Amino acid sequence: MLTTLSIEELSLKLCLAEDAITAGELLDAWDRMIVIDTMSFGIMRLSPLIHHQTQRFGLSSIHQARLKILYQYWWIAYQHRTHQLKKVISLFAQQDIPVMALKGVGLADYYPRRTLRSMADMDLLVAPKDHARALKLLLKNGWAHEYADLERKGAVHRFFGLDPNHGTQLIHPQSDVKLDLHRRLGSYTSNRLTQLAWAQPVQSTATGLLKPARPIELFMVVLHAVMGDFEDNLNWLVDLAQMSNNLTAQDWQEAHALAIADKKETLFLAGINIAASYGIDLPQTITTAAENSPSRGRIPRFSDARPLSAKWLKETIAGRYTVTCHRFPDRPTYRRLAIFSAATVVLALVYLVFMAVPKPASQTSKKDRQ
């Protein structure tokens, strides 16, 4: 049976195994299938948990030395991030700027050890009225925009890529730690949801930081994975499994209600279906609702196409169109509006390119010159 599983499914089941016999069988199959030098980034982010499972159950992989190195890498990366996090929190506290932990920073609470939740960056939320002040404070204290050409290409990047309604991407050059300073929970969520998060925050027992209430956190985990196509993010499936041990039936009901209120029910239930297909144990009420939900199709993933290239423009317009349609899945008027907007943008770009092409100087005949 294990031979029919993909390497992603094997990795996830190994991370979530609860007894030594099951973990041993999964590890043997994982060893036979994995090519350690070419493992995907998504599986590499699970390596701390895989290493933890081998230590927990007294197992040994043929790749044990490499797993230990990967575990140490993510452990050191976590220490660097939390060191910078403490400095940022201290800066904000001095200026009376409330801050909330999002995504990995907050989700690490659900893991046996916080260092087992690998993170590519840190995500912090500040109130919209405090965002400009918080950004200015960070830029004065060693942080910089992740994109060096932000000023030169500001208008285009803000419209197509950086999404100023969502947040600002920063980097700490000395430690290479990345930080997303949010003014809203996510690119595709309403302002109402962000206001609700601020109205009903909870406190992390490990860090003392504020974080969204569990139903909001659950909704955001699923939505972020679906909107991002989760190609390099298998963590969210482990997040769901770890969270399920702490969630109540009411938490799931409230998360579903949030999805409906935010016009994201189709996407939320699509994420639940994906998690169930990977074998994540979820409440029957939510999986039944997901099974009966109509599919709305896949949202395109942005590639690493060169900015402003034909491929990049095509993917960007297609992505924005699809997202607009998913925001209002039951209102065909918005689909027509999205088509019209996309066509207008394309025609405008074609016109601008045409006008930018140098025209040959008109030649006058000898008769005209006389």
Confidence of residue 300 (pLDDT cuts 50, 70, 90): very low
More confident site: 23 or 338: 23
How far is residue 59's CA from residue 53's CA, in Å, rounded to a whole number?
8
From residue 213, how far is each of 73, 100, 223, 250 by CA, in Å? 31, 11, 15, 12
Span 184-213, average pLDDT: 86
Instruction: Calculate helix-pair angle for 214-228, 191-199, nearest 10 degrees.
Output: 150
Among 61-75, 137-151, 158-172, 286-300, top mean pLDDT goes to 61-75
Asked if residue 102 lies in contact with residue 123, where contact means CB atoms within 8 angstroms, the answer is yes
pTM as predicted: 0.76
Is the pLDDT assigned to residue 11 strictly greater than 90? yes
Lowest mean pLDDT among 7-21, 80-94, 268-282, 298-312: 298-312
Range from 57-66, 199-208, 283-292, 337-346 that averages highest in pLDDT: 57-66
Stronger pLDDT, 242 or 295, i.e. the higher one: 242
Percentage of the chain beyond pLDDT 90 is: 42
> If we measure between CA atoms, which residue out of 6, 10, 15 comes closest to residue 54?
15
Let me know: does 94 contact 61? Beta carbons within 8 Å: no
68 or 324, which is more confident? Answer: 68
Band (310; pLDDT cuts 50, 70, 90): low
Once rounded to an integer, what is the mean pLDDT over residues 188-194? 85
pLDDT band with cut points at 50, 70 and 90 for residue 259? very high
**For residue 261, what are the CA distances in angstroms to 31, 257, 306?**
45, 6, 37
